[in-house]
Amino acid sequence: MAHRFLQACFRQPVDRVPVWMMRQAGRYLPEYRAVRAQHTFLEMCKKPEIATEVTLQPIDILGVDAAILFSDILILPEAMGIELRFRPDHGPEFPTPVRTAADVERLHVPDPRKDVPFVLEAIRRIQDGLRGRVPLIGFAGAPFTVASYMVEGGGSKDYRNIKTMALAEPETFDRLMTKVTDATIAYLNAQIEAGAQAVQLFDTWAGALPEWLYLERVFPHVQRIFAALTRERNGERIATIYFAKGAGQWFSKVVGAGADVLGVDWTLDLGHARTIVGERVALQGNLDPATLLAPPEVIRREVRRVLDSYGDAPGHIFNLGHGITPEVPPAHAKAMIEAVHEFGTRG
């Protein structure tokens, strides 16, 4: 059976524009919070039955056109050998950050089957639970985004440590990026082998970089990932998505990533983005997540604006321009999805 999400990824005609939301298995859902109240965040990532339960919630509750594995981009660097903590009311923390060439050498490239078996088990269980209703998206963080957490020791406002490493110790930086890239390729291919029908690479902090630094020292690693991903499994084509947030100023270059789909954040008009990419890739996005805090009639109007900005051509996956925020009323998320159903009918 052809799924409209996968059809859109490959720029094939669809009956209506498919829609899912980044962080759709998240805190804005009371059903998610009920599970979260019983488990730590890392437990939820590491217990396949829990990850499965929350991954499936938005499929049943909201009727989105794709499921995305419940996990975290920092599961992979933890498996590379550095301790990861999530403290309540803090972001993620790596108490012993990666700062030196010796720190980088100590990192190992995980074997996903051995080191993160719970992720692959979750994918198999989710597929059992989905029973073919919608495709399942796997994911990983992009090398710079993951490395920035590893080097800064957590979230950062100015990325001072990783930028200093990139400028003052380019060999160490490149060695780290290479290791994270190797790990990411094995990780995503294992997710595909376990049953993911699409994979998304999240480059949340790409936009923190100077253009030259991104293009010369970060983007080649991204390209290597897409060149190395499994593109077919059992005769089924695997869709690949690259989401570089804040990269609108060099979007014409991002087209060369090698992904089937580019995620677009809410700051770059989709029509503008299409002018840049032409027929080369599909586009995913890009309603401003803050819109979901406005009244439903505003949400409906803005959904229409996003659909109109892309136009009628194939190759649009409707999504937010970044993750849904915890304060969004579920009824507002539903209003968005219903509006995509109503205004996104094609053919």
Cα 186–59–302 angle (5° rounding)? 100
Inter-residue contact 300 to 3 (CB < 8 Å): no
Tokens of 312: 């009628």
Closest distance to a copy of itself from the beta carbon of 28 (Å): 13
Helices 170-194, 143-152: inter-axial angle, 10-degree rounding? 120
160 is a catalytic site residue:
no
346 is a catalytic site residue:
no
Q: Which of 4, 11, 23, 274 is the catalytic position? A: 23
Q: How far is 174 from 181, CA to CA, in rounded Å?
A: 10
Closest CB to a copy of itself among 20 and 159? 159
Closest distance to a copy of itself from the beta carbon of 287 (Å): 9
**Cα-based torsion angle of the residue sequence 321, 42, 137, 150 in order, rounded to the nearest 10 degrees:** 70
Which residues of the chain form contacts with a copy of itself (CB under 8 A)?
158-160, 163-164, 167-168, 207-212, 246, 248-251, 266-269, 272, 288-291, 293-295, 298, 302, 305, 309, 321, 325, 327
DSSP string of 214-230, one letter each residue: IIIIIHHHHHHHHHHS-
Tokens of 211: 């253009």
Inter-residue contact 107 to 98 (CB < 8 Å): yes
Q: Using DSSP, state whether 261 is helix, strand or coil.
A: strand
Closest CB to a copy of itself among 110 and 154? 154
Closest distance to a copy of itself from the beta carbon of 293 (Å): 5
What DSSP state is assigned to residue 324?
P
Closest distance to a copy of itself from the beta carbon of 210 (Å): 5
Closest CB to a copy of itself among 83 and 158? 158
36 is a catalytic site residue:
yes
Q: Which of 72, 111, 174, 288 is the catalytic position? A: 72
305 is a catalytic site residue:
no
Q: Which of 28, 32, 99, 149 is the catalytic position? A: 149
149 is a catalytic site residue:
yes
Closest CB to a copy of itself among 177 and 185? 177
> Hey, which residues are catalytic here?
23, 27, 36, 72, 149
